[in-house]
Amino acid sequence: MGKTISLTASDGHKFSAYEAGLADSPRSLVVVQEIFGVNHHMRTVCDGFADAGYHVIAPALFDRAERGAELGYTGPDMQRGMELRGKIAPEQTLADLLASADALGHGKIGIIGYCWGGALAWAGATQSKRFAAAVGWYGGGIAATKDATPNCPVQLHFGADDDHIPQTDVDAIRAAQPTVEIFVYEGAGHGFGCSERGSYNATATALAQERSLAFLQHNL
Task: Enumerate the active-site residues.
Answer: 115, 162, 190
Q: Can you tell me the distance from the alpha carbon of 184 to that of 48, in angstroms, rounded to the nearest whole number?
A: 23
DSSP per position, 74-108: SHHHHHHHHHHHHTS-HHHHHHHHHHHHHHH-SS-
Q: Compute the C-alpha angle 49/53/56, nearest 5°.
A: 50
| Long-range contacts of residues 174-180, Cβ cutoff 8 Å, at least 24 apart | 176/146, 176/147, 177/146, 177/150, 180/150, 180/154, 180/155, 180/156
- On the 0-12 / 13-18 / 19+ scale of CB atoms within 10 A, 164 is middle
Q: Can you tell me the distance from the alpha carbon of 142 to that of 58, in angstroms, rounded to the nearest whole number?
A: 21
Q: Can you tell me the distance from the alpha carbon of 50 to that of 57, in angstroms, rounded to the nearest whole number?
A: 10
